[in-house]
A = this chain, B = another copy of it.
Amino acid sequence: MSEVRNDRTVTVAALKERVKEFTDARNWGGGHRPKNLAMSITIEAAELMEHFQWLDNDDYQVDRLTPEQREAIRLEVADIAIYLLSFCNQVGIDLAQAVHDKYDINEKRFPVESYRK
């Protein structure tokens, strides 16, 4: 595809639409039930974590990761996003709104003043 498709140009709705389109074209909707998708998100998240299993935080400075590791990590992140967006599609969640609403709660729980010196 030649169209531009990056974070600057793509809305969350467009990304959700891509997920729906791919899933529907394969009749996978029947398996994409909320319970199964919650499992799938967790499974993919654990696979991402596997890249960080044995070393210390400092060993995972971005510039120490090999290009192969970075690409594998990038595609794991995509998998998590895909199942998360499919979950939103199935359950009817507006993700951008959910994130903003959660931050409204967090702003009160973690008032920014207490973190300023």
Q: What is A's interface to B at a CB cutoff of 8 Å?
A: 1, 5-16, 18-19, 22, 25-27, 31, 33-36, 38-43, 45-58, 60, 62, 70, 73-75, 77-82, 84-85, 87-88, 90-107, 110, 112, 115
Contact = CB atoms under 8 A, between A and B. Distances in A.
B49 A43 contact: yes
Contact of A34 (B22, B34, B60, B80): B60
Contacts of A36: 53-54, 57
Nearest to A14: B96
A78 to B, nearest CB: 4
Nearest to A49: B38
User: What is the oligomeric copy number?
Assistant: 4
A98 B74 contact: yes
A52 B41 CA distance: 13
Contact of A45 (B10, B42, B58): B42
A27 B41 CA distance: 28
A-B residue pairs, 10 tightest by C-beta: A46-B46, A78-B102, A10-B96, A35-B52, A7-B13, A7-B12, A78-B98, A42-B45, A26-B115, A38-B49
